[in-house]
Amino acid sequence: MIKSSTIKLKRVALLGVSITILLFGLLHYGRSGEFFRSSTRKNSLGLQGLDRHITPASHPLIFGKTLQPVKRYLPEDVYISLRTTQVYHTSRLSLLLLTWLQALPADQLHIVTDGLQNNSVVKMLTSEGYNVTVSSCPQNHKRASLCCKTGVEFSLYYRVMENYSWFCHLDDDMYLNTKVLAKYLANHNHNLSWYIGYYPLAAGKPFELDSYRLKSIKNPKRTKFSFATGGTYCISRPLLRKLINFFNGNNFEATCNQFMLTDDMIIGMVIEVILGFNLTDVSNIKTHLQSLSNIKPADLVNLISVSYGGKNNRIKLPQEIKNDTSGFLSYHCLLYPEVKWCSQPNAASTR
Ligand code: UDP
Ligand code: MN
C-alpha cells in the first residue's frame, strides 16, 4: 500500500514537472514571437494578425496577404497627408497599408483620422513608422466636419513647412502612384507657386462665385475659379506659405465656414480669387466622379492617382486579383509584380 501510493505520488510529481516545463516552453516560445506568428486566427474584423506584436522579421497579414515593402521611394522633400475616418480604418486604410503605403518612406506620410475605433490598423501603422494624428473633428461626412479635418492637415503642414518643398493631400479612397508623382514633381520648379490637381467640374468652365460671397472679399483677383478635387492635390511651399499666412488669425476652418463651401473649393477659391494664382489642371488624376473602367493599362501606369466608386466603377486590369473590389490590389501588382502575394494561387486571373 505504502509502496504503491509513493509511486503514484512520484508519478503525479513527474507529471506536474512535465506540465510546468511544457507551459514554460510554450510561454517562452510565444514571447520569442514564433508561437504567435504561426497563428492564423482571424480577429473580429476578418483581418489576420492585426493585434500581434510586429517585428521587422514578421510582417503581419492583411486580408490574408503579407505586408511587403517594395522599393520605397519618394523625393525626401515631398510630404503626403492622408485623410481618413475611424469607420474606414479596416475597409479603406488597411487596403492602402497593404498597397501604396509600402512604396514610400513611412516618415513622409501623415495620417489624420478622428477616432480609435478599429484601432488595430492604427497600431500597425504607428509601429511601421507612419505618423497618425487623431483629431477631435466630428466623425461624419458633413461639409463642416471635413473642413475641420482639412484644418488639422493645414496646421500639420505649418509645423513641418520648412522641411519639405511639396505638400500633397490624398483621400483614403485613392491609390497614389508614387513613381509617377515623383517624376511629375521633379519636372516642376518647387521655388514657384504651384497648385496641382484635377478640376472635377466641366472642363474650361470655372466655378462662378456669387455676389454675396464676392462682396466679403477685399480686392478679389477674379470672380470665377477652378479648384482641385479633394481626392488628390499638391501645393508647393511658396504657395502654401501664402495660404497659411492668409489663414493665420483667420484659420482654415473659419474661412471654410464663413464661405460655406467644401474644403477643396475653399482651397481653390483662396488660391485663385484671393491670392491670384492658378490651378494646374492635370488629367492623370482619376476620381470616382469619372468613368474608370475603360482606362487602358498603358494609361493606368501613367496615373498620379486613381480612386474607385460603386461596384461597377473601378479600373480594369489584364491580371485581376480575386475579390479585389477596389481594383487597388490588381493595380499594385501591375506596378510592382515582384510582390509575393501577386503570384500566389488566389491571385489568378478571374477574367
Ligand atoms: N471622411 C471623413 N469622415 C466621414 C466620411 C468620410 O473624414 O464621416 C473622409 C474620407 O475618409 C475621405 C474623404 O472624407 O478621405 C471623402 O470621403 P468619401 O470618399 O467617402 O466621399 P466623397 O466626398 O469622395 O464622395
Ligand atoms: Mn471619395
- The helix (run of H) or strand (run of E) holding residue 183 is helix 178-186
User: How confident is the model at residue 249, as a pLDDT?
Assistant: 63
Amino acid identity, position 32? S
Last residue of a domain, one of 252, 286, 320: 286
More confident residue, 223 or 118: 223
Looking from the CA of residue 114, the nearest atom of ligand 1 is: 7
Average pLDDT over residues 278-291: 96
pLDDT at residue 278 above 50?
Answer: yes
**Residue ranges in 248-326 assigned as alpha helix (H):** 252-259, 263-269, 297-300
Q: How far is CA 56 from the centre of its chain?
A: 21
Last residue of a domain, one of 258, 286, 314: 286
More confident residue, 272 or 22: 272
Q: Is 263 touching ligand 1 by the criterion CB < 6 Å?
A: no
Which residues does 21 contact at the CB level (< 8 Å), separation at least 6?
none
Distance 15 CA to ligand 1 centre (A): 59
93 and 178 part of one domain:
yes
More confident residue, 117 or 19: 117
Q: Which residues surround ligand 2, an ion (CB under 5 A)?
A: 173
51, 264, 299, 324: the catalytic one is: 264
Q: What is the torsional sign of CA 107, 109, 114, 118?
A: negative
Looking from the CA of residue 139, the nearest atom of ligand 1 is: 8
308 and 281 part of one domain:
no
Distance 141 CA to ligand 1 centre (A): 6
- Give the three-state DSSP class for 119: helix
User: In degrees, to the nearest 5, what angle opens at C-alpha 307 toward C-alphas 303 and 310?
Assistant: 145
238 and 342 part of one domain:
no
Looking from the CA of residue 113, the nearest atom of ligand 1 is: 7
Average pLDDT, the chain: 85
Amino acid identity, position 95? L
- Domain assignment of residue 66, yes or no: yes
Domains held by the chain: number: 2
User: How confident is the model at residue 22, as a pLDDT?
Assistant: 36
- The helix (run of H) or strand (run of E) holding residue 158 is helix 143-160
Q: Is 242 touching ligand 1 by the criterion CB < 6 Å?
A: no
301 and 268 part of one domain:
no
219 and 102 part of one domain:
yes
Evaluate whether 193 touches 236 at the Cβ level (below 8 Å): yes
- Give the three-state DSSP class for 174: strand
Evaluate whether 206 touches 225 at the Cβ level (below 8 Å): yes
103 and 229 part of one domain:
yes
Distance 142 CA to ligand 2 centre (A): 13
- Domain assignment of residue 35, yes or no: no
Q: Give me the helix-helix angle, 252-259 and 237-247, nearest 10°.
A: 70
CA separation for the pair 151, 172 (Å, rounded): 17
278 and 325 part of one domain:
no
Q: What is the torsional sign of CA 85, 87, 91, 93?
A: positive
User: How confident is the model at residue 15, as a pLDDT?
Assistant: 43
User: How confident is the model at residue 45, as a pLDDT?
Assistant: 40
Instruction: Report the DSSP pairing between strands 195-197 and 232-236.
Output: antiparallel
- Give the three-state DSSP class for 314: coil
Cell numbers that stand for 276 in this block? 491670384
More confident residue, 241 or 2: 241
pLDDT at residue 351 above 50?
Answer: no
Last residue of a domain, one of 286, 319, 342: 286
Mutate to test the pocket of ligand 1, among 82, 140, 172 (most ligand atoms within 8 A of CB): 172
- Domain assignment of residue 120, yes or no: yes
Lowest mean pLDDT among 19-28, 57-66, 116-125, 279-288: 19-28
Distance 79 CA to ligand 2 centre (A): 21
302 and 281 part of one domain:
no
CATH of residue 135's domain is: 3.90.550.50
Q: Is 139 touching ligand 1 by the criterion CB < 6 Å?
A: yes
- Nearest residue to 46 via CA among 96, 94, 83: 94
More confident residue, 37 or 98: 98
Our answer to whether residue 264 is catalytic in this structure is yes
Evaluate whether 197 touches 215 at the Cβ level (below 8 Å): no
- For 280, counting Cβ atoms within 10 Å of its Cβ (0-12 exposed, 13-18 middle, 19+ buried), the class is middle
301 and 163 part of one domain:
no
More confident residue, 24 or 302: 302
- Ligand nearest the Cα of residue 307 is 2
User: In degrees, to the nearest 5, what angle opens at C-alpha 80 toward C-alphas 111 and 153?
Assistant: 55
User: How confident is the model at residue 86, as a pLDDT?
Assistant: 96
- Domain assignment of residue 173, yes or no: yes
250 and 312 part of one domain:
no
Range of the domain at 338: 296-350
- Domain assignment of residue 327, yes or no: yes
**Upper half-sphere CA count for residue 260 (Cβ side, 13 Å):** 6
Looking from the CA of residue 137, the nearest atom of ligand 1 is: 7
CA separation for the pair 70, 103 (Å, rounded): 5
User: How confident is the model at residue 202, as a pLDDT?
Assistant: 85
CA separation for the pair 119, 134 (Å, rounded): 11
- Domain assignment of residue 262, yes or no: yes
Average pLDDT over residues 213-223: 96
Lowest mean pLDDT among 38-47, 201-210, 339-348: 38-47
274 and 337 part of one domain:
no
Split at pLDDT 50, 70, 90, the class of 61 is: confident
CA separation for the pair 24, 196 (Å, rounded): 59
More confident residue, 240 or 26: 240
- Domain assignment of residue 48, yes or no: no
User: How confident is the model at residue 347, as a pLDDT?
Assistant: 54
Q: What is the DSSP letter of 91?
A: I
Ligand 1 atom 6, closest CA: 141
Q: What is the DSSP letter of 103?
A: G
Average pLDDT over residues 303-308: 98
- Domain assignment of residue 13, yes or no: no
Q: What is the DSSP letter of 42?
A: B
CA separation for the pair 330, 319 (Å, rounded): 7
pLDDT at residue 272 above 80?
Answer: yes
DSSP letters along 2-20, please?
HHHHHHHHHHHHHHHHHHH
Residues counted in the chain:
351
86 and 158 part of one domain:
yes
Distance 267 CA to ligand 2 centre (A): 17
102: left (phi over 0), alpha (psi -120 to 50) or beta: alpha
